[in-house]
Chain A
Amino acid sequence: MWSYERRLQYPVNISETNPKLAQVIMSQYGGPDGEIGASLRYLSQRFVMPNRKVVGVLNDIGTEELAHMEIVGAIVHQLTRNLTPEQILEGGFQNYYVDHTLGVWPMAAGGIPFSSTTFQSKGDPIADLVEDMAAEQKARVTYDNIIRLICDHDVCDPIKFLREREIVHFQRFGEALRIIQDELDSRNFYAFNLAYKPDLFK
């Protein structure tokens, strides 16, 4: 069960709108390496994860990603708030605007709608945790790419915070993978799936 707190994990206070930047940053809302996908990936993987500590990592990072989704949404909203029709055209925001006005909708920067096909819940601890580590690195690279395009400190500041969190999460997932490997046969990690026991070789 979740309950809501009326606060952002990291504050967002942007004074200048920028629809071009909003279209790029939007990818971390509903894009292939975005926060919604991250949260759904970890929260979905929890159920069959065989180790309680590792479940804790998935649960707590999955929960934090929901807070990051809110931060990215706040950034996109503040970058597009009260845009005039002229600013929409000048900023190349008309294709988004015609379908969503100034609402926040989960999609990639290229316009591809959010999809759960961007992540897996494989039901195998090693497969899932290695994917989770890669996911944190991909999100970190996306934030790197975004930071190169930003001049405004008000926007850069929360983006840098989110980028740092990717690095911390990568570290925690690395530890989670090591915890799982300690429970496996050190001569062959892949001989069986800790989350699904039927014999592999008959």
Chain B
Amino acid sequence: MDGSNREKLFACIQATSFVCDELRLFLDTHPTDRAALDYWEKVSMVRNEAVSEYTRCFGPIEAYRVINDNTWAWVEDPWPWEGWC
């Protein structure tokens, strides 16, 4: 996996996460809305796969999902508030 794949995968995590955040709020007050329930199923599955793939190839983004070789990977990467430039 190269840099552009990393960006695509990260963008996918960002997008599906926000859809889940928005759907969660909607479903909290509309718990039987069939269309929203189906959308949640679909999007949360895509998000899970994207997070697993990203974690395996590029390092952890969730504190409970750290995969290590011989060293603790959690604190190695830049923190999100550092920005990209």
Asked if A and B are interacting partners, one says: yes
Chain A residues proximal to chain B, CB less than 8 Å: 1, 3, 46-47, 52-53, 55-56, 59-60, 63
Q: What sequence of 0s and 1s flags, for each residue 66-85 of chain B, a beta carbon within 8 Å of any chain A beta carbon? A: 00000000111011110000
A63 contacts B79, CB within 8 Å?
Answer: no
Verify A63–B63 contact, CB threshold 8 A: yes
Instruction: Point out the residues of chain B lying under 8 angstroms from A55, CB to CB.
Output: 75, 79
CB distance from B76 to the nearest CB of A (A): 7
Contact residues in B for A1 (Cβ distance below 8 Å) = 17, 80
Total number of A-B contacts with CB less than 8 angstroms?
18
Residues of B within 8 A of A47 (CB): 81
| Assembly CA distance A193 to B79 (angstroms) | 21
Interface size in chain B (residues, C-beta < 8 A): 10
B62 contact set on A, CB distance < 8 A:
3
**Cross-chain contact B17 with A56 (CB below 8 angstroms):** no
How distant is A182 from chain B, measured CB to nearest CB, in Å?
A: 16
Instruction: Name 18 interchain pairs, CB-CB below 8 A, sorted by A.
Output: A1-B17, A1-B80, A3-B62, A46-B79, A46-B81, A47-B81, A52-B75, A52-B76, A52-B78, A52-B79, A53-B75, A55-B75, A55-B79, A56-B74, A56-B75, A59-B79, A60-B63, A63-B63
